[in-house]
Structure 1
Amino acid sequence: MADHVCESRAAARPHAPRTRSPRLAGAGLTWVVIAAIQPVWGADFMFRAEVDGQTVEGSPLAWSESSVSLLTRDGSLIDLDPQQVSGATKTAPRFQGYPATEVAPRLRDEFGSGYDVASSTHFLVVYPRGDRRDWAARFEALYRSLTRYAAVRDFPVSDPAYPLVAIVYPSEAAYYTAIQQMGISLPSGMLGHYDPQTNRVYLFDPGDDWEQPGGSAATIIHEATHQAAFNVGLHTRFAEAPRWLTEGLATLFEARGVWAPRTGDRPKDRYNRGRLADYRRYAKEDGPPMPIGALVASDDAFKSQPLAAYAQAWALTFYLSETRPRQYAQYLQTTANRPNFASYDPRSRLNDFKAAFGDDLRLLDANFASWMKSLE
């Protein structure tokens, strides 16, 4: 499972995926019999059980004789020890997410009287009581921008089965205290992050005009894009995804001409000027900062050359979505449909990429570099 935190900083946002071996689930539950030791992957049915005195309900994504990985009805992912599960009962033949009317009271109980919960069609946003900003409307507008952008380009999307949750803390100190209590370690200077495990966006209110250049818009947009993309089918939360692909789409939406398309319909209106400047800083005279094949096959560049990696991830995503939208949509679907908890070795990554965009990556490097040089 892609157990990583997508982080946002004021400048580049390199983050290190916290990838672990998937813990799978099942034997010992009263409603399932595992005949073999080999893990079983995925099931649509739901069950309810008691675990450590708490009731959990959801669909098992995978199970073995030693553990269970469960997608809960609020959209979070949890791992269960079968020895701690009791009273397991099948509750439905297919997964059904909780409606917002059930999640909202739980959030109020979780965060207490210092916070309010705002709702929109797809979101529940927890925010400091008394804050007059319409946080839910902001997230909803970004969700509509993403799905509209995807629909125009024939990218496959579907609405999530549960409300998407965002948590807005009143200050940087409150944000860092909360994430430390969650056991998440982030560097200083972070403005927010998306956590695929809880399926929540966490951020704090910097108190600026978020729509102005240099404001908090880039953080909100970047993290909301991650959250929406992982929940509408553009990416999968349940298997390893190429980092250039996930970060490329999030950085694509940092550009105002993408998330607010009414500001202009020319390609140059969709430029991410900051990422474009970084790309040009690192680009070679006869090609991109690094060969496309290297960026596709491995996530290592995000550790060794983070600014260049983020810049090229944006540039390649912009190039493919503008010039080859059908092939890009095919590639998104291929990566999103990979088996639950499957690892993604370099050869498989390259094969999937070549199946969408062709075998001649040197030619693609040249065409990509030439197109980037033509941008005004």
Structure 2
Amino acid sequence: MSLSLHRRTLRETSRYALRGTAGVALRLSNIWCLWTLGPLWALGLAWTLVPFCMAKTQAESLEEDPASGPKHIEIEFADSDRPNLRGEVLTENPRYGMLVQNPDGELIAIGPNTPIAKIQAIDEPMRPTSAGEIATKTLALLPAGAKSLSTEHFVVCYDTSETYARWNANLYEKMFKGMLRFWKEKGLELQPPRFPLVALIFRDKADYIEYSKRDFQGGENTFGYYTQTTNRLATFDLTGIEGVLPPGAKIQREDLLAEIFSRPEAERQIATILHEACHQIAFNTGIQTRLGDYPLWLSEGIATFFESADTRSSSGWAGAGRVNAYNLQQIRFYFRNRPPDSLASLLTQDERFRKGDTSAAAYGECWGLTFYLIKKKPKEFVAYLKKLRERPPGNPSDSKQRLDDFLASFGQDLEKLDKDFVRMMAGLRP
């Protein structure tokens, strides 16, 4: 099949497949990023779907000294088939158990019925897994024959063509450097990632769906996702071109980009990759913290602020702070019948992001609010991020606390702020 014929076939298939599902797919993907942070435990992090605790008859609780940092331990499980776990104790609770971060950067929950033979304190600090080591481990999660490549901050494991994988890796890196440069100019102190940032790219969507089942159900409705428990990003070949190339055949970068950018859904697909990578970058550089308590409007607002795709540039990313044409369209449609309490509900209620009939408007509005605050109140926005970043984990905010935090950072007159926000959105141009 010629490349031009393949392009036409893909366009027709994609128009049909995405006409009714693209919005839902993208929104489910976005929701999942932080849906895994839902109210599944006191810290708001999805370690397990069942509350857990560790009985003191199984293991003596380790005394914590906050000043000395996390405790380093090795857990020997009673099940001899389960390998020992070494890592840092991030938090421990008599009722819910223990959360351990392993050298790969994964968050491991020790559940209520986990038989433990012994817990031993380790004197030396945990050494994060190297890029080479983590690549070897991650390749086992992909089909046979998968390969890996590394950039300055990312480890990309793939069974697509190297050309497609490298384009994604370069997209991640450009966004990473652009985000850090943006926040540095705004006065937000960040740090380099402690662990390699891992991304999996599957050739076939079926393999991607199968992999996603370990994290959530519904992978067939998504283009990609990031989850904090594993700290990994996963996606698949969005062009579909891999499926028609003969085994071992190579595609030139120019042909690949032409295929990606020629598709009618290209902007949304690239935006999805950028959106999920933004979450991964944010939670690994200190823009946000993985154990932090964040309202969904803020986490998704940051990701939508940076997700703007540029289908006219070979890099694919439009840069930081560009007007997001898709979400501007969503918010303007929503503003036709916007309830008077919309801003207050956005600030205090995550449920709007999780319901199919309200999620598109919620994402549009959170993008608009984030855009407005960063453009009009940048110092206050950075101070707000710092306040939430420095708050100790363990006490999730209720609706009143969320609203109080916002008003303390941006001013007590919410009605005036809302009018300014609406006025700015009305005057924006894509």
Q: Given the two structures, how large is their TM-score scaled by the length of structure 2?
A: 0.74
Is 1:218 aligned to 2:247, yes or no?
A: no
Q: Aligned ranges for residues 1-376 of structure 1 at < 5 Å? A: 10-11=22-23, 12-14=26-28, 15=31, 17-18=35-36, 19=38, 20-22=40-42, 23=52, 27=56, 32-33=61-62, 43-51=69-77, 52=79, 53-65=82-94, 67-81=97-111, 84-92=115-123, 94=125, 96-111=127-142, 113-128=144-159, 130-133=161-164, 134=166, 135-180=168-213, 182=214, 184-186=216-218, 188-207=220-239, 209=257, 210=260, 214-215=265-266, 216-256=269-309, 270-284=322-336, 291-302=342-353, 303=355, 305-376=358-429
Q: CA deviation at 1:227?
A: 0.8
Deviation at 1:365, TM superposition (A): 0.4
Q: Does the C-alpha gap of structure 1 residues 221 and 262 become closer, same or farther in structure 2, counting only changes over 3 Å? A: closer
Contact 2:105 2:231 in 1 (8 A): yes
The separation in 2 between residues aligned to 1:166 and 1:149, in whole angstroms, is 23
Gaps of 5+ in 1: 1-8
Return closer, same or farther for 1:183/1:45 CA change in 2, 3 Å cut-off. closer
Change (3 A) 1:290 1:222: farther
Show the counterpart of 1:6: none
On the 8 A contact 1:283/1:289 being kept in 2, the answer is no
* CA RMSD, 1 decimal: 3.1
Per the TM alignment, residue 248 of structure 1 is displaced from its structure 2 partner at its CA by 0.8
Comparing both structures, which one devotes a greater share of its residues to helix? 2
| Paired residue secondary structure (1:103) | helix
Amino acid at match of 2:201: V
The answer to whether the 8 Å contact 1:25/1:79 transfers is no
Distance 1:41 1:178 in 2: 39
Identity value in percent:
28
CA–CA separation in structure 2 for the residues paired with 1:153 and 1:204:
34
SS of equivalent residue, structure 1 residue 54: coil
The 3-state SS of whatever aligns with 1:161 is coil
Would you tell me which structure has more strand in proportion to its own residues? 1
Which AA in structure 2 matches 1:331?
A: Y
Contact 1:28 1:65 in 2 (8 A): no
Q: Supply the AA of the counterpart residue of 1:49.
A: I
* Structure 2 gap segments, 5+ residues each: 1-20, 43-51, 241-256
Give the drift of 1:274: 0.6
Q: Report the count of equivalent residues.
A: 358
